[in-house]
A and B are shown apart, each in its own frame.
Chain A
């Protein structure tokens, strides 16, 4: 018996949506990492901490999405 409040046919679009969000967040993190590395190699030390915080926020969102995904089961 499936205890989820969504039918399997309803869950698939939700899972696809979560997947797209996660991919977008990871691409954003990739951009952040390359930009921060470029700035660091250029001697700019001021961008590392804000970029780390932004990347950590993206990770937290991704973990939240994953937790929601597991709760769908």
Chain B
């Protein structure tokens, strides 16, 4: 009685090893593009998860880049004083644009009083639209998304901007307005 069972087990074992061998010999492209629909779904999702993990790695690389910039980019450049305007050039409430240091993004100089001037980066901290002075209201206005900044401090007052405008330090030396440095948004 046992003999046929053993023979059956042998046949099953041979069939098993044959199927394993066939699976091992199946080329990768055949495994990636199977005929069976359910198996195809399985492979597609597995590859998609692989791609998602790759994206996840890319995000970590981006975070590492920001961290490196934060750790290594702490040194501030020394600014050389630069004449940017004559006092008589601007009426009270008047404004002009300038670049400081040379090659920088446009800056905005505003005369707020007989001897008082303020200067900021002209780019809105929301989406880089140029801000315009509204001296009577004591504000700077970004017309793109109706953002408002305080003229005296550059702090955001209303609208989408959340960071203050980078301030350019200015001094009046005789009849000349001189830029002496730039404070970034955090200071």
Contact = CB atoms under 8 A, between A and B. Distances in A.
Nearest to A50: B67
A23 B6 CA distance: 51
Contact of B162 (A11, A30, A42): A42
Interface string B3-28: 00000000000001001100100000
A16 B45 contact: yes
Contacts of A65: 49, 53
B86 interface: no
Say what secondary structure dominates the interface of chain B: helix
Contacts of A62: 52-53, 56
B184 interface: yes
Interface string A31-73: 0110011101111110011011001101100110110011000
Interface in A17-35: 18-19, 22-23, 25-26, 29-30, 32-33
Interface string B105-148: 00000000000000000000100000000000000000000000
13 contacts: A1-B19, A9-B38, A22-B49, A22-B53, A26-B55, A29-B60, A42-B163, A48-B71, A56-B60, A58-B59, A59-B57, A63-B53, A65-B53
